[in-house]
């Protein structure tokens, strides 16, 4: 009865309120775009906490992107004065990483395990195939990568994969070799994060029971895009059931989704998980939400009309009380460049005349390659913009090179990193030498680092010099801060020097410098290593604010690590930062406060909303994508993608297409997208391009704007510098309470005598880096580790 009066419920309709206040048990909310699914999920967490049904530590919520996770945490801390750190809210990958960091030993991983992103994975596979003389015409590396990822998504190890074709035998063999290579090098790919955690839960009763007891409420957003393994993982964690049936007092699962927005089939997502969930969990409550709160009716009608052309649907309705609003505007242009120009011009008007904030404007496209021409136009016009999900900061070549050096400091065995930088910057180590080294390592069964001695002559000397340089760096980085480590590595790896000498290297040097800032804000903002601090959130925010930390961002720590209960040992700040870099999805790029237009693929826009949305490149072969036009199922997935795109818009929607497009170096003549035929004529307004836009007129238009690029370009970069000038002040260190100083001799009951090299953090977060005689250098959490000065 108390709950009924909670202000949390004031802004919900009756169906939403029913969903938020469901009694324990399993539930499914199946509802269309913009009907408040995510709002319900977030409010339910707040409601469960407020009514004392669960403590923050008993919540596990899965979102689709890191951005969504952060948004959820921000909203929660606005709704309730709670400490959000104890909650497990994140993506499947983020949560599995957190889990494996805490149980690395049981999972059979080294404490410093590193994450291979998709690019690294591909190069690791290529390397492996070369070593084993696999014909890459017959077995392209990309295909092998898909094969391995697909097997993992289905929860299959090499021995479990069913051999259906002759070629499968080879693929399974490669999968096996790849696994051995990863294990040897101490790296895991994204699929492995998931599969390892699943297997650990499955095989270790104590661990499974611990988490089953802990997580009383499991909530999953965008459930339609979960894959087989994620579903199995969830089922394992839910536990406490008889035949999957909910038992009073057990854990409750709330799944939230929309079958019309299932757009990740190509990555193993199974919309069938929804039906399986209802059946296998004996779902007690199913709730439909039919009121759309996001869009005006012209936009919503367009979406409804379009999706009605799909045959495989569970069937839902969506209505809105908002009026028709602006018509959906359609614009056809002669060239992709002119299309981009028009979009930018229209945007500027929206900002100038309609007072729309730039961050409320999104430009969506089907594939990443389409962003370049838009970026050029925005750049020329001096409009600040941000690209999500393109080449993200941590994926840029120069950053990956720097990270490779850092990873080698943490883990000598990391062969992928070794190969990335052994001859970068160039130091006279050729392909032949590297092959020789690889042969030696293979026959000795060691890492490349360990095999260096086996190569003789001048080449051997060069290799030895490289390894010696790394060893010296490793020695020098002991006892210094993360920031200093990175500065040292940038200098001594020769990377900065190398790019300075390059003609177009200035950007890259700036990016490398930005890496230092990224590390700095990781340590302060993410509060490295802070585990479930028992501070009220106000106090936490106050103390953060007094350190100059941007508290508009939630204070969370993706790479959060519980120290070993017995010894107090924890991950080093560097290892935590490297993990963060590998998981960072690029959705919080630099310049937080700046108002910028948002560019992203439709896939990346899922779950988000904007006042104004431009969907560009609406041409057959682009959207729908050319690979998806021939069979019905793929075309239906494209249509769902279009449905997602349209339903991102609140007030204004623009659909644009171009007669010609320069893509992958070729001019293409495309027909208008077939999706236009599936939209309601009454909601659309066709704009005719000015005649001057065609033919010769258009090319002179382009030329004159290219001429203007220099001036506009300079303005664009100044923008960035200005905002960097206002970068946060470095935090003040509070006086340490533990009484330790660097240089001090201490005693640890397991590791013996050692010397304190460095200290980090304050209060419960304080940690020390200590060099022990026999056990080497370790990071210890002082709240746990007993260190006595001697």
Stretch that binds ligand ATP, among 8-16, 176-184, 434-442, 538-546 (CB under 6 A): 8-16
* Residue of 3, 6, 9, 12 interacting with ligand ATP (CB under 6 A): 12
Stretch that binds ligand ATP, among 7-15, 120-128, 330-338, 780-788 (CB under 6 A): 7-15
C-beta of 253 vs 300, nearer to ligand ATP? 300
Which of 715-726 are b and which e, b meaning 16 or more Cβ less than 10 Å from the residue's Cβ? Answer: ebeebeeebeee
Centre a 10 Å sphere on the Cβ of residue 749 and count the other Cβ atoms it contains: 11
Question: Whole-number minimum distance, CB 26 to ligand ATP, in Å?
Answer: 20
Asked whether the beta carbons of 380 and 705 are under 8 A apart, the reply is: yes
Residue nearest to ligand ATP (CB): 36
Asked whether the beta carbons of 760 and 767 are under 8 A apart, the reply is: yes
* Residue of 527, 607, 624, 716 interacting with ligand ATP (CB under 6 A): 607
C-beta of 530 vs 640, nearer to ligand ATP? 640
C-beta of 14 vs 743, nearer to ligand ATP? 14
How far CA 248 is from CA of 22, 241, 252, 620, in Å, comes to 14, 9, 9, 53
Q: Categorise residue 509: left if φ over 0, alpha if ψ from -120 to 50, beta otherwise.
A: alpha
The tokens for 96 are 């599995």
Burial of 735 (0-12, 13-18, 19+ CB in 10 A): exposed
* Residue of 293, 701, 717, 747 interacting with ligand ATP (CB under 6 A): 293
Check binding of 761 to ligand ATP (CB under 6 A): no
701 binds, among ligand ATP, Mg ion, none (CB under 5 to 8 A by kind): none
Check binding of 13 to ligand ATP (CB under 6 A): yes
Binding residues among 630-669 for ligand ATP as defined by CB under 6 A: 647
Question: Whole-number minimum distance, CB 609 to ligand ATP, in Å?
Answer: 6
- Per DSSP, the three-state class of 68 is helix
Cα Dmax for the chain: 86
The catalytic residue positions are 37-38, 221-222, 261, 648
Asked whether the beta carbons of 235 and 280 are under 8 A apart, the reply is: yes
Asked whether the beta carbons of 289 and 15 are under 8 A apart, the reply is: yes
Check binding of 39 to ligand ATP (CB under 6 A): yes
C-beta of 38 vs 570, nearer to Mg ion? 38
Phi, psi of 293 (to 5 degrees): -105, 0
Contact mark string toward Mg ion, 27..56, x via CB under 5 A: ----------xx------------------
Stretch that binds ligand ATP, among 5-13, 319-327, 669-677, 716-724 (CB under 6 A): 5-13
- Per DSSP, the three-state class of 391 is coil
Instruction: Choose among 388, 395, 368, 392: nearest CA to 115.
Output: 395
Stretch that binds ligand ATP, among 32-40, 182-190, 343-351, 488-496 (CB under 6 A): 32-40
657 binds, among Mg ion, ligand ATP, none (CB under 5 to 8 A by kind): none
Centre a 10 Å sphere on the Cβ of residue 516 and count the other Cβ atoms it contains: 17
Stretch that binds ligand ATP, among 35-43, 382-390, 445-453, 526-534 (CB under 6 A): 35-43
C-beta of 101 vs 648, nearer to Mg ion? 648
Instruction: Choose among 199, 144, 195, 149: nearest CA to 173.
Output: 144
Check binding of 586 to ligand ATP (CB under 6 A): no
Check binding of 191 to ligand ATP (CB under 6 A): no
Phi, psi of 740 (to 5 degrees): -90, 150
Taking the C-alpha atoms of residue 594 and residue 277, their distance in angstroms, rounded to an integer, is: 42
Asked whether the beta carbons of 622 and 370 are under 8 A apart, the reply is: yes
C-beta of 63 vs 567, nearer to ligand ATP? 63
11 binds, among Mg ion, ligand ATP, none (CB under 5 to 8 A by kind): ligand ATP
Check binding of 546 to ligand ATP (CB under 6 A): no
C-beta of 62 vs 759, nearer to ligand ATP? 62
Check binding of 769 to ligand ATP (CB under 6 A): no
Question: Whole-number minimum distance, CB 90 to ligand ATP, in Å?
Answer: 17
Contact mark string toward Mg ion, 568..607, x via CB under 5 A: ---------------------------------------x
Check binding of 302 to ligand ATP (CB under 6 A): no
Phi, psi of 781 (to 5 degrees): -85, 120
- Per DSSP, the three-state class of 608 is coil
Check binding of 9 to ligand ATP (CB under 6 A): no
N residues, the chain: 790
Question: Whole-number minimum distance, CB 66 to Mg ion, in Å?
Answer: 15
Check binding of 186 to Mg ion (CB under 5 A): no
- Per DSSP, the three-state class of 147 is helix
Centre a 10 Å sphere on the Cβ of residue 459 and count the other Cβ atoms it contains: 17
Please, what is the angle between helix 573-583 and helix 506-525, to 10°? 110
Q: Where are the alpha helices (DSSP H) in 331-430?
A: 336-354, 371-381, 397-410, 415-421
Binding stretches for Mg ion (CB under 5 A): 37-38, 607
Binding stretches for ligand ATP (CB under 6 A): 11-13, 16, 31, 33-39, 258, 261, 293-294, 607, 609, 647
């Amino acid at each position: 009865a108390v709950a009924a009066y909670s202000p949390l419920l004031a802004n919900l309709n009756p169906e939403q309120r029913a969903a938020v206040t469901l009694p324990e048990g399993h539930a499914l909310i199946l509802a269309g775009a913009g009907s408040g699914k995510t709002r319900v999920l977030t409010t339910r967490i707040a409601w469960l906490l407020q009514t004392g049904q669960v403590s923050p530590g008993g919540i596990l919520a899965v979102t689709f992107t890191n951005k969504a996770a952060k948004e959820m945490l921000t909203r929660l801390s606005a709704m309730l004065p709670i400490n959000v750190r104890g909650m497990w809210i994140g993506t499947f990958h983020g949560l599995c990483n957190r889990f494996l960091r805490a149980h690395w030993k049981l999972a059979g991983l080294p404490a410093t395990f590193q994450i291979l992103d998709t690019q690294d994975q591909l190069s690791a596979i290529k390397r492996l195939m070369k070593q084993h003389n696999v014909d890459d015409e017959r077995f392209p590396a990309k295909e092998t990568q898909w094969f391995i990822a697909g097997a993992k998504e289905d929860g299959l190890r090499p021995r479990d994969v069913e051999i259906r074709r002759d070629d499968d035998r080879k693929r399974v063999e490669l999968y096996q070799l790849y696994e051995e290579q990863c294990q040897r090098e101490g790296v895991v790919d994204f699929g492995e994060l998931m599969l390892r955690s699943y297997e650990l839960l499955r095989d270790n009763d104590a661990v499974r029971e611990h988490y089953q007891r802990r997580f009383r409420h499991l909530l999953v957003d965008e459930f339609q895009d979960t894959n087989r393994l994620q579903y199995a993982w969830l089922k394992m964690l839910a536990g406490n059931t008889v035949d999957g049936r909910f038992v009073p007092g057990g854990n409750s699962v709330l799944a939230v989704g929309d079958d019309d927005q299932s757009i990740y089939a190509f990555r193993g997502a199974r919309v069938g998980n929804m039906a399986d969930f209802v059946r296998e969990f004996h779902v007690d409550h199913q709730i439909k939400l039919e009121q759309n709160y996001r869009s005006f009716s012209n936009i919503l009608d367009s979406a409804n009309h379009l999706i009605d052309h799909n045959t495989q649907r569970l069937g839902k309705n969506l209505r809105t009380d908002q009026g028709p609003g602006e018509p959906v505007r359609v614009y056809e242009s002669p060239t992709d460049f002119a299309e981009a120009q028009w979009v930018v011009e229209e945007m500027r008007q929206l900002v100038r005349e309609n007072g729309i904030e730039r961050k409320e404007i999104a430009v969506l496209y089907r594939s990443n390659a389409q962003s370049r021409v838009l970026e050029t136009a925005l750049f020329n016009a001096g409009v600040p913009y941000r690209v999500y999900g393109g080449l993200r900061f941590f994926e840029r070549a120069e950053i990956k090179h720097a990270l490779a050096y850092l990873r080698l400091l943490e883990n000598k065995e990391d062969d992928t990193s070794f190969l990335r930088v052994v001859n970068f910057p160039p130091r006279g180590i050729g392909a032949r030498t590297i092959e020789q080294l690889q042969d030696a390592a293979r026959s000795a069964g060691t890492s490349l680092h360990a095999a260096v001695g086996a190569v003789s002559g001048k080449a051997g000397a060069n290799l030895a010099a490289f390894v010696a340089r790394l060893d010296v760096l490793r020695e020098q980085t002991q006892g210094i801060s993360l920031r200093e480590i990175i500065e040292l590595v940038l200098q001594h790896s020769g990377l900065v020097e190398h790019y300075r000498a390059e003609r177009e290297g200035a950007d890259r040097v700036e990016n490398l410098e930005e890496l230092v800032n990224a590390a700095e804000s990781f340590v302060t903002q993410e509060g490295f290593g802070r585990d479930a601090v028992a501070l009220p959130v106000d106090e936490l925010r106050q103390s953060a604010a007094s350190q100059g930390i941007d508290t508009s961002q939630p204070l969370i720590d993706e790479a959060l690590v519980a120290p070993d209960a017995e010894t107090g040992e924890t991950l080093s700040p560097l290892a935590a930062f490297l993990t963060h870099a590998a998981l960072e999805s690029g959705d919080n790029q630099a310049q937080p406060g700046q108002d910028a237009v948002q560019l992203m693929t439709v896939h990346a826009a899922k779950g988000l909303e904007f006042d104004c949305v431009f969907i560009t490149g609406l041409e057959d072969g682009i959207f729908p994508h050319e690979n998806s036009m021939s069979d019905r199922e793929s075309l239906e997935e494209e249509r769902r993608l279009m449905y997602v795109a349209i339903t991102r818009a609140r007030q204004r929607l623009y659909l644009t297409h171009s007669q010609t497009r320069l893509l992958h170096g070729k001019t293409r003549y495309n027909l208008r997208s077939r999706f236009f035929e599936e939209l309601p004529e009454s909601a659309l307004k066709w704009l005719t391009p000015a005649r001057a836009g065609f033919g010769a007129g258009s090319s002179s238009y382009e030329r004159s704007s290219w001429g203007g690029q220099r001036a506009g370009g300079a303005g664009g970069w100044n923008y960035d510098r200005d905002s960097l000038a206002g970068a946060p002040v470095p935090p003040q260190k509070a006086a340490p309470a533990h009484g330790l100083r660097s240089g001090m001799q201490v005693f640890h009951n397991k590791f013996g005598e050692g010397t304190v090299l460095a200290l980090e953090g304050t209060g419960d977060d304080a940690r020390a880096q200590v060099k022990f005689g026999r056990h080497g250098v370790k990071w210890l959490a002082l709240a746990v580790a007993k260190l006595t000065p001697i």
